[in-house]
Amino acid sequence: MVVREAVDVMQANSGSVALIEPHTQILEIQTSIGLSPVVRRLKLPIGRGVTGWVAKTGQPLRVPDTRADPRYISVRKDVRSELAVPLIVEGELIGVLNVDSTRCNAFSDDDEALLVALANHAAQVIHNSWLYAAVALNAHRLEALFAVARDIISSHDLEEILQRVVCHACELMETKICSLMLLNTACDRLELRACHGASADYLHKPPLSVDDSLIGNVVRRGKPVQVHNVQQHDAYQHIELARREGLVSLLSVPMMHSNTPIGALSVYTGKSYRFSNQDIAILSALADLAAIAIKNARLHRRVVDVEEQLRRNERLSTLGLLAAEVAHEIRNPLTVMKMLFHSLDLRFDDADPRARDTEVMAEKMDHLNRIVDRLLSFSRSSEATFERLNLNTLLEDVLLLTRHKLTQHKITLQTKFADRLPKVRADRAQIEQAYLNLILNAVDAMPDGGTLTVSTVAEASSVLLTLADTGVGMTKEQRARLFEPFLTTKTGGTGLGLAIVQRIITEVHRGKLEVDSAPHRGTVFRIYLPV
């Protein structure tokens, strides 16, 4: 509209608007009327030609006869006069508006004044449309950032998160490559952990020292850095690699978590580019988001480890209890043997080899006795310690530990906790162990997922804990022998879990344990603990 209006009003033959490309500082024709395609593609450095002169000086220029003005670059043979005026917004020159005529002296003083006025309006309109485009772009990017955030935090797997971050960063920033480096605090080095858009070669980029590298500087100071051309930057460490990959401009931002940098996120363009403040803000937001997701994934990993530990502990304490039982069972027959052996009062000549044999037998029986004693005193030292417990809180703790295992096996957890539960006198560790046993059994019973319902009910003189699964269930025969030690249907099972649960509930806590189960109908365990 601006060019059309200018050409009409000035009764010119052609006209154009050329804008200064901010990254290259070169005048490029944005729109034109009456110019050939070749001319339209013409690019002028500031200072060259009539347009270039106007851009350089910020003054209007009227050329009454192009043949007499050395500044004029002939692009159309028949152009005889030209009028060019600057486009200025808030004191900054953004481009040039010009009109040409095939007549000499086509433009007057009044024409010049009018075109200057038109240019002033036009500059403001162009500026507004840029602002509008920038706001629209920003809105679009923020929206994209939200989607990215949702995507990143939906995963708990560290490698997957890292890969998603670099992938999204490339898309969001419209860059060639994105790399993510994490700080290894043990050796103060930055290690490349994920990369998008680069060749396999790049993935073998060696770790960077935090103290003397460009990206190390970003991490150390916790501030973004941009480099216009990494191929010509002294502090950039892998210039050769950058040349091979065709990397030009770099923007690197720190990944901050609670004010501590944990790494850096860097994007590279394939063409020379100046990153705007908006670019920096968006990449920084993404980097901080990534930092949170990474921290979460690490925490999550620890929970999983703790859970594995739990399972191992279950085995160990089960075996410990077993050892104590065995010791107890051996002690009585051993005492009888010892008594009878001594009452035999076997005496042989010193020369008789049987003299030595009887000695050895007595020694070995004493030895066995000592082992049994030690085992028993060891298991006594782990005897129950009772305290007044709120079983709701205790269950919540156990469920917190197994939460991940349940989701992993596609098991939905339902809890129905009684509002006011009387406290019971119980041994925390043992009740926890018993419950863990039951939950892990339920998980094993639901290989294709299901629902686990855990509830607490306050009864007249006891607290009732129920644990119901929707798993494979048991036959009548299985149920009858359920609490016998070593009875298991699993390849890795010990068959001791329920034997111990039974001991903990009925013997140690004087409670009651009931089971309801049928094949394919799930299983319900009910535990009553006296108040």
| Cβ neighbours of residue 503 closer than 8 Å, sequence gap 6 or more | 321
Among 100, 307, 432, 469, binds ligand ADP (CB under 6 A): 469
482 binds, among ligand ADP, Mg ion, none (CB under 5 to 8 A by kind): ligand ADP
Question: Distance between CA atoms of 201 and 238, rounded to whole angstroms?
Answer: 12
Among 52, 197, 497, 511, binds ligand ADP (CB under 6 A): 497
Tell how strand 450-458 and strand 512-517 pair up.
unpaired
Question: Distance between CA atoms of 399 and 406, rounded to whole angstroms?
Answer: 9
296 binds, among ligand ADP, Mg ion, none (CB under 5 to 8 A by kind): none
Q: Closest residue (Cβ) to Mg ion?
A: 497
Residue 474 binds ligand ADP (CB under 6 A): yes
Among 202, 471, 527, 528, binds ligand ADP (CB under 6 A): 471
**Cβ–Cβ under 8 Å, residues 457 and 422:** no
Place of tokens 């990959």: 245
CB nearer to Mg ion: give 51 or 441.
441
Residue 490 tokens, joined = 């699993």
**Cβ–Cβ under 8 Å, residues 118 and 97:** yes
CB nearer to Mg ion: give 222 or 495.
495
**Cβ–Cβ under 8 Å, residues 388 and 424:** yes
CB nearer to Mg ion: give 261 or 497.
497
Residue 190 binds ligand ADP (CB under 6 A): no
Hey, which residues does 525 pair with through a beta bridge? 467, 515
Per-residue binding letters, 394-433, with ligand ADP (x by CB under 6 A)? ----------------------------------------
Strand ordering across the sheet containing 208-209: 208-209, 189-196, 177-184, 260-268, 250-257, 225-227
Helices 277-344 and 428-445 pack at an angle, to 10 degrees, of 110
Among 162, 421, 472, 513, binds ligand ADP (CB under 6 A): 472
Task: Kindly state the smallest distance separating residue 472's Cβ from ligand ADP, in Å.
Answer: 6
**Which region, judged by CB under 6 A, interacts with ligand ADP, from 52-60, 249-257, 273-281, 493-501?**
493-501
CA 450 vs CA 55, 66, 477: distances in Å: 73, 87, 24
Among 261, 450, 473, 511, binds ligand ADP (CB under 6 A): 473
Residue 138 tokens, joined = 């920003």
Task: Kindly state the smallest distance separating residue 481's Cβ from ligand ADP, in Å.
Answer: 9
Residue 129 binds ligand ADP (CB under 6 A): no
The footprint of ligand ADP on this chain (CB under 6 A) covers a number of residues equal to 22
Residue 494 binds ligand ADP (CB under 6 A): yes
Place of tokens 């920033």: 173
- Give the CA diameter of the chain: 147
**Which region, judged by CB under 6 A, interacts with ligand ADP, from 23-31, 301-309, 469-477, 504-512?**
469-477
**Alpha carbon of residue 398 to chain centroid:** 26
**Cβ–Cβ under 8 Å, residues 76 and 100:** yes
Residue 482 binds ligand ADP (CB under 6 A): yes
| Best CA proximity match to 337, nearest among 301, 312, 361, 317 | 361
Residue 441 binds Mg ion (CB under 5 A): yes
Task: Kindly state the smallest distance separating residue 441's Cβ from Mg ion, in Å.
Answer: 4
Task: Kindly state the smallest distance separating residue 318's Cβ from Mg ion, in Å.
Answer: 9
445 binds, among Mg ion, ligand ADP, none (CB under 5 to 8 A by kind): ligand ADP
Torsion sign (Cα): 447, 450, 453, 454:
positive
Among 342, 490, 510, 521, binds ligand ADP (CB under 6 A): 490
Tell how strand 411-416 and strand 450-458 pair up.
parallel
Task: Kindly state the smallest distance separating residue 440's Cβ from Mg ion, in Å.
Answer: 6
Task: Kindly state the smallest distance separating residue 407's Cβ from ligand ADP, in Å.
Answer: 19
Question: Distance between CA atoms of 343 and 220, rounded to whole angstroms?
Answer: 82
Question: Distance between CA atoms of 265 and 253, rounded to whole angstroms?
Answer: 5
Per-residue binding letters, 458-497, with Mg ion (x by CB under 5 A)? ---------------------------------------x
Question: Distance between CA atoms of 149 and 172, rounded to whole angstroms?
Answer: 12
**Which region, judged by CB under 6 A, interacts with ligand ADP, from 124-132, 270-278, 384-392, 491-499?**
491-499
Which residues sit at the interface with Mg ion, rule CB under 5 A? 441, 497
Which residues sit at the interface with ligand ADP, rule CB under 6 A? 437, 441-442, 445, 469, 471-474, 482, 487-490, 493-499, 523
